[in-house]
Chains A and B, each alone.
Chain A
Amino acid sequence: MTRKQRRLAIIGSCGFVLAIAAALVLFAMRDSIVFFHGPSDVIDKSIQAGTRFRLGGLVKEGSVVREGQTVTFDVTDTSKQVRVTYTGILPDLFREGQGVVTEGVLQAGGLFKADSVLARHDENYMPREVADALKKQGHWQQAPAKPQS
């Protein structure tokens, strides 16, 4: 092979691999990305049933109903709420009145069927999405700062 051919071969293979990578990324972007919505978004924007997304907010006080392994509860941003059903074991820090992020599919009746409820790592930690959704509703206050002394 001549020098020129060699150079072409190398540049060509670089271009080929990069093109494949770009194609994969674009393809995956279309199919496997999940949006995040707060309860108000879900109701106001009338999201279609069958859409997969993440729903975040606070677990409404007194709304948790357990039936064997299935749990239903309301996720609220204090103005609107969406009923969620989930089958499985909840994370350690799932509590009424606490922030939660769930991922699943909206059913026809407005029920959100979650297949995962995200655990939080720390009792002081509010998922950023939830904090933002609450801020939007004007109900978010910065958690009281740790005492400094």
Chain B
Amino acid sequence: MLVEIAHFSLALALGLSLVQMVIPIWGVRRNDMALARVGEPAAVGVFLLLFFAFSVLMYAYAVSDFSVQNVAENSHSAKPFIYKLTGTWGNHEGSMVLWVLILSLFGALVALARKSLPDRLRSGTLAAQASVTVAFLLFILFTSNPFNRLDPAPPEGNDLNPILQDLGLAIHPPLLYIGYVGFSITYAFAIAALIDGRIDAVWARAVRPWTLAAWLFLTLGIAMGSYWAYYELGWGGWWFWDPVENASLMPWLAGTALIHSTIVMEKRDSLKVWTILLAILTFSLSLLGTFLVRSGVLTSVHTFATDPQRGLFILIILMVFIGGSLALFAWRAPMLRQGGLFAPVSREGTLVINNLFLAAACGTVFIGTLYPLALEGLTGAKISVGPPFFNATFLPLVIPLLLLLPFGQSMAWKRGDLLGTAQRLATAIIIGVVATVMIFAVTYGGPVAAPLGIGLGVFLIASAVWDLGERIIARASGFRAILSRAAGLPRSAYGSAMAHAGVGIMVIGIAATAWATEDIAVMKPGDRLSRGGTTIIMQQIFPRTGPNYRELVGRFAVEVDGKERGVIDSMKRTFITRNNMQTTEAGIRSFGPSQLYVSLGEIQPDGTSVGVRMYTKPLILLIWIGSIVMAFGGALSITDRRFRVAAPAKPRAKAGAGGPHPQPAE
């Protein structure tokens, strides 16, 4: 009965969303507060209904109720309990319910954020947000209903793709979705502003925390996905320029640009039209990502089911929302009051450059991802655009951006001084150059990219720290004054410094991949495999049984520089519940931020020896640590009191040129 009530809640949520979409707009147009207010309780109601529906679906998974078709197709009674739960969103229907649930969560949060948002803006935003909810609820109810029932219920389920039975899956999609869907709020804000024809610093101030929240979750989601691919796929790679990865990278790049352009809009009341456009584009790219992943246009691990009807439906949603919003933009944007121009050499000037580079980088990813699809549609020729393309286009755009980042960060608003800024950055530049030279000398003969990249990363970190230090110490005398300045500095200043330092950490991790090694050997117990100072010794191969799989374990002793450093177990799993599908569970051991990564290949015909791949991955963890630091910086900025009371710009109070960037692999 619960399942049926949940199904009904889903339909009811659609009805309520329709009301939330229509009535508030009417109220805003007619200046009728009562009508405009309808959106608020409706948004909360929709969230509660969807929360209930999703919880019930999860419950059905937990108790293996195979009378629910979605559960029967994607779960199995022998699956470990935690993966029964996470399997709720490990499939198309469940993940779409999660999608709208998060959508409605953001709607409810906007409805409850009474103090910090002007009434008209809130009502318009809720209505625009509800239109997205309506579209996706229709999509779910008509093409992807998770509550379809089976009678009689099958005795056993089909189980979840084993590669998705992993804790990474438990975390990655929800984070990513919060990011994707979070940008829907920014989009809704933009639509509300366009409909209302009013946009100003208040708008930028109101949008910023939401953008930051979406951005930080998207950052974590992408990082988590990358780490998951790294340890689960068993190839030791962490970024493949896979179209599905690109689909999440594009909104991230646009969102990063958006964070920075709203600063300009808020502080200098300019870049308005561009910011609105960027808000629309960011969410459009999120929708495009959803379309690419869900429609089966691209095949990948994320494509749970390919169903042309679904693809068509999402395509229609895509066209309505992107086309509709761009048309609205074309119609209303010229009526917006333009902001002033400003000097090219100034904080705002550098932020424009930041936006320019980010948009261009996003454009190259867009072309690289969609060009093969377009070409195949037009000429039938099949091509693959892989890492070489992105390395040749994306990197040359991102590296200058990163080099310029510290300059923007420490330049003054309105009228900057290039030379003065360079002087202020002198220490950081010197630290970066020294780091490069030293590392180059120590690893002479090795790849050149690594020391250069690490130098860049060190420069980014040093300049972020230096800039922060200077603000605290300069013009203050005495310990007490320094403390008071440190306490008085807005949290967003710490946040942006932290985010930029996070970029630096990540750049170091990426640069160090140039030193990574890969060795392949056929080993039997007793064999040794060495690279540099690291040796693995195969101890034994033995079978083991898990809850819904059997596995062959290769156990290796690890020696670093002649010293015993524990053992690594590396597994080859066979999932009996899924047609004996095999997965590789790499054995990974961390030494500080560096890792030793051992994965098993094929068992040799003789049955006693096995192919082994050993990777050494110096500093690899810095890639993900850097992303977490970035996200943490974003979180720190959100907690800035000023967003809540909507305090104004103090000149030079906030930082932020340049954007954090993930970089291509290998």
Tell me the dominant secondary structure on chain A's binding face: mixed
B80 within 8 A of A: no
Q: How far is the CA of A27 from the CA of B617 in the complex (A)?
A: 32
Q: Are A89 and B601 in contact (CB under 8 A)?
A: yes
Interface residues of A in 10-54 (CB under 8 A from B): 10, 13-14, 17-18, 20-21, 24-25, 27-29, 31-37, 54
Checking A10, A89, A92 against B352 with a beta-carbon cut-off of 8 angstroms, the contacting residue is A10
B397 within 8 A of A: yes
Known: A33-B385, A93-B581, A119-B233. A148 touches B150 (CB 8 A): yes
Q: How far is the CB of A88 from chain B (nearest CB, A)?
A: 6
Interface residues of A in 91-149 (CB under 8 A from B): 92-93, 103, 119, 121-123, 125, 127-129, 132, 146-149
Task: List the one stretch of B13-21, B283-291, B339-347, B478-486 in contact with chain A.
Answer: B339-347
Q: How far is the CA of A60 from the CA of B360 in the complex (A)?
A: 45
Q: How far is the CA of A6 from the CA of B345 in the complex (A)?
A: 10
Q: How far is the CA of A7 from the CA of B393 in the complex (A)?
A: 28
B69 within 8 A of A: yes
Q: Are A36 and B161 in contact (CB under 8 A)?
A: no
For B349, list chain A residues within 8 Å (CB).
10
Q: How far is the CA of A69 from the CA of B62 in the complex (A)?
A: 44
Q: Are A121 and B301 in contact (CB under 8 A)?
A: yes
Q: Are A122 and B396 in contact (CB under 8 A)?
A: no
Known: A25-B364, A28-B392. A121 touches B352 (CB 8 A): no
Q: Are B522 and A69 in contact (CB under 8 A)?
A: yes
For B371, list chain A residues within 8 Å (CB).
29
Checking B361, B572, B581, B602 against A123 with a beta-carbon cut-off of 8 angstroms, the contacting residue is B581
Q: Are A54 and B384 in contact (CB under 8 A)?
A: yes
Q: Are B386 and A17 in contact (CB under 8 A)?
A: no
Q: Are A89 and B520 in contact (CB under 8 A)?
A: yes
Checking B152, B158, B234, B360 against A17 with a beta-carbon cut-off of 8 angstroms, the contacting residue is B360
Checking A17, A32, A37, A132 against B356 with a beta-carbon cut-off of 8 angstroms, the contacting residue is A17
Q: How far is the CB of B226 from chain A (nearest CB, A)?
A: 16
Known: A21-B363, A24-B364, A146-B158. A34 touches B611 (CB 8 A): no
Known: A21-B363, A21-B393, A24-B392. A10 touches B344 (CB 8 A): yes
For A37, list chain B residues within 8 Å (CB).
382
Checking A31, A36, A122, A148 against B382 with a beta-carbon cut-off of 8 angstroms, the contacting residue is A36
Residue interface mask A73-100, B partner, CB < 8 A = 1: 0000000000000001110110000000
Q: Are B161 and A13 in contact (CB under 8 A)?
A: no
Checking B299, B381, B392 against A35 with a beta-carbon cut-off of 8 angstroms, the contacting residue is B381
A68 within 8 A of B: yes
Q: Are A66 and B605 in contact (CB under 8 A)?
A: yes
| Residue of A9, A25, A27, A93 with most partner-chain B CB within 10 A | A25
Q: How far is the CA of A33 from the CA of B391 in the complex (A)?
A: 12
Q: How far is the CA of A6 from the CA of B415 in the complex (A)?
A: 12
Q: How far is the CA of A1 from the CA of B346 in the complex (A)?
A: 13
Q: How far is the CA of A25 from the CA of B520 in the complex (A)?
A: 35
Q: Are A88 and B233 in contact (CB under 8 A)?
A: no
Q: Are B520 and A88 in contact (CB under 8 A)?
A: yes
Q: How far is the CB of B61 from chain A (nearest CB, A)?
A: 18
Interface residues of B in 235-256 (CB under 8 A from A): 235
Known: A31-B388, A35-B383. A1 touches B69 (CB 8 A): no
Q: Are B343 and A6 in contact (CB under 8 A)?
A: yes
Nearest opposing residue in chain B for A18, CB measure = B360
Q: How far is the CB of A149 from chain B (nearest CB, A)?
A: 5
Q: How many A-B contacts at CB < 8 Å in the complex?
A: 124
Q: Are B344 and A6 in contact (CB under 8 A)?
A: yes
**Size category of the binding interface on chain B:** 35 or more
Q: How far is the CA of A1 from the CA of B415 in the complex (A)?
A: 11
Q: Are A28 and B300 in contact (CB under 8 A)?
A: no
| Residue of B69, B363, B371, B393 with most partner-chain A CB within 10 A | B393
Residue interface mask B354-381, A partner, CB < 8 A = 1: 0011001101100110010000000001
B583 within 8 A of A: yes
Checking B150, B299, B363 against A125 with a beta-carbon cut-off of 8 angstroms, the contacting residue is B299
B154 within 8 A of A: yes
Q: Are B356 and A28 in contact (CB under 8 A)?
A: no
For A35, list chain B residues within 8 Å (CB).
381-384
Q: How far is the CA of A3 from the CA of B604 in the complex (A)?
A: 74
B444 within 8 A of A: no
B7 within 8 A of A: no
Q: How far is the CA of A129 from the CA of B299 in the complex (A)?
A: 10
Q: How far is the CA of A33 from the CA of B367 in the complex (A)?
A: 12
Nearest opposing residue in chain B for A126, CB measure = B299
Nearest opposing residue in chain B for A24, CB measure = B393
Checking A24, A68, A121 against B397 with a beta-carbon cut-off of 8 angstroms, the contacting residue is A24
Q: How far is the CA of A68 from the CA of B606 in the complex (A)?
A: 11
Nearest opposing residue in chain B for A6, CB measure = B341
For A36, list chain B residues within 8 Å (CB).
382-384
Checking B356, B368, B584 against A13 with a beta-carbon cut-off of 8 angstroms, the contacting residue is B356
Q: How far is the CA of A69 from the CA of B521 in the complex (A)?
A: 8
Residue interface mask B134-166, A partner, CB < 8 A = 1: 000000000000000010101000100101000
Known: A31-B392, A149-B152. A122 touches B163 (CB 8 A): yes
Q: How far is the CB of A93 from chain B (nearest CB, A)?
A: 7
Q: How far is the CB of A85 from chain B (nearest CB, A)?
A: 16
Checking B73, B364, B582 against A92 with a beta-carbon cut-off of 8 angstroms, the contacting residue is B582
Q: Are A7 and B341 in contact (CB under 8 A)?
A: yes
B635 within 8 A of A: no
Known: A21-B360, A89-B602, A149-B150. A6 touches B342 (CB 8 A): yes
B558 within 8 A of A: no
Nearest opposing residue in chain B for A133, CB measure = B382
Q: Are A92 and B384 in contact (CB under 8 A)?
A: no
Q: How far is the CA of A146 from the CA of B306 in the complex (A)?
A: 13
For B522, list chain A residues within 8 Å (CB).
68-69
Known: A10-B344, A121-B163. A90 touches B356 (CB 8 A): no
For B391, list chain A residues within 8 Å (CB).
32
B477 within 8 A of A: no
Q: How far is the CB of B400 from chain A (nearest CB, A)?
A: 9
A to B CB contacts below 8 Å, 7 in the list: A20-B397, A29-B389, A32-B391, A35-B381, A36-B382, A122-B161, A148-B150
Q: Using a CB–CB distance below 8 Å, which chain A residues touch chain B?
A: 1, 3, 6-7, 9-10, 13-14, 17-18, 20-21, 24-25, 27-29, 31-37, 54, 66, 68-69, 88-90, 92-93, 103, 119, 121-123, 125, 127-129, 132, 146-149
Q: A18-B360, A34-B385, A92-B582 are in contact. List 20 more A-B contacts (CB 8 A).
A: A10-B341, A10-B352, A14-B356, A17-B397, A20-B396, A20-B397, A24-B393, A33-B383, A34-B383, A66-B605, A69-B611, A89-B611, A89-B613, A92-B572, A92-B583, A127-B299, A128-B299, A146-B158, A148-B69, A149-B150
Q: Report the 9 A-B pairs with minimum CB-CB distance, sorted nearest first.
A: A89-B601, A32-B388, A36-B382, A121-B301, A28-B392, A21-B360, A92-B582, A24-B393, A9-B344
